[in-house]
Amino acid sequence: MLYTRILRLLALLAPLLLMTAGARAERPRDYAGELRPAYALLDRGDYARAYPQFQRHSARNPLAQFMLGLFNQNGWGRPVDADAACAWFAKAALQQIPTAQHLHGDCLMRRPDAPGNAAAALASYLDAARGSHYISLCSAAELLIRGKGVPRDVPRGLALCAQAAQSNAPPAMLRMGQYLGGDADVPADLPRARAWFQQAAQAGIAEARYRLAIMQSQGDGGEVDRDAALFGMESLAAEGYVPAYLPTAVMYAHMPPQPDTGALGAEHLAKVYLWASAAKARLRDPALLDATAQLLANVLAVMPSAWQPGLDRQVADHLAKFAAPGTASNLNRAPNASPGA
């Protein structure tokens, strides 16, 4: 729930939120506590009443300022207003709210060519990271690696993002794999890229699982492991991850043929048809659709026509179910020897 996510954020920010700008002798101010009624309204989706509650405290409460920024950024009960959101994030960033410092950096990079904006964004990202918002290190890294308004420094950028990844931030692990696995501005290091994708995949990041399976299938950065690649790719496809549909079909199409017939076995042939059909229904890229159509034509030239109705029902079931939370895909089930029966 939204309220639960906010409370987790408050736990991260607690050391900062209990401080005041006044003398040491003053009693620490409970910024989060004074906003509890506003959070309760927000949790109920009562944006019309929640917003003025946060606004009441916005003069002196940096967490209220941050929340007003989120209202305007996300369009909670009001039109999205990026300028208003950025103004509130800037106020909260001045009070050392780490997530606000990160978002303030993003706001500055809306106009990266404005004098001083990129350097200020870099400083804001680094400030956020010092407040334990470690993923901000990868945002800082992006500026340094691309040379966006700051002197280009690829080694420093990679070191910063690696620091975030080593702090157990899966998105940073994914980003390190992307940088090292074929980024035009970074020297390739496929073994390290594969290792980072492996860590991000173990944390459940879908794109990392996809990239790892591709590397395993091709032997990039390590040994070829077709079994692991197929298992990983088909698991993603069964969860409705559309980019995995066509690669799963292609992997099944390249399975070893039956020794007695020289053709694909019934199970593998059916899987090619299932996943290629799902790809045809969901892909939008013309080149990928052309490849899918050719693969399906090859399958239909050899697959018994009696199989097609049953397999089409499995495809329809999958396409109807995969987007619904908690549903399993029939396509991950191996077909019988006579899939159309």
Average pLDDT, the chain: 89
Cα–Cα distance for residue pair 334/215, rounded to 1 Å: 25
pLDDT at 2: 52
Answer whether 121's CB lies under 8 Å from 141's CB: no
**Other residues' Cβ atoms within 10 Å of the Cβ of residue 99:** 21
Provide the CB-side half-sphere exposure for 248 (13 A, CA).
29
CA distances from 224 to 2, 124, 217, 264 (A): 43, 42, 6, 21
CATH fold of 138-224 reads 1.25.40
Confidence label for 6 from pLDDT (cuts 50, 70 and 90): low
Smallest Cα–Cα separation from 299: which of 243, 259, 328, 339? 339
Q: Which two tokens stand for residue 272?
A: 């090619």
Confidence label for 29 from pLDDT (cuts 50, 70 and 90): confident
Does residue 332 sit in helix, strand or coil? helix
Check if 1-17+29-133 and 138-224 are the same fold.
Answer: yes
∠ CA 332-339-210, rounded to 5°: 25
Task: For residue range 119-165, list pLDDT tens digits in order.
Answer: 999 999 999 999 999 999 999 999 999 999 999 999 999 999 999 99
Full-prediction pTM beyond 0.85? no
pLDDT at 13: 52
Q: What percent of the chain has pLDDT over 70?
A: 86
Residue 307 pLDDT greater than 60, yes or no: yes
Q: Which residues of 297-325 are buried (b: 16+ CB within 10 A; e: fewer)?
A: eebeeebeeebbebbeebbeebbeebeee
Confidence label for 336 from pLDDT (cuts 50, 70 and 90): very low
**Other residues' Cβ atoms within 10 Å of the Cβ of residue 184:** 5
* CATH architecture of structural domain 1-17+29-133: Alpha Horseshoe (1.25)
For residue 150, what is the DSSP state? Answer: S
List the domain boundaries for the chain.
1-17+29-133, 138-224, 244-341
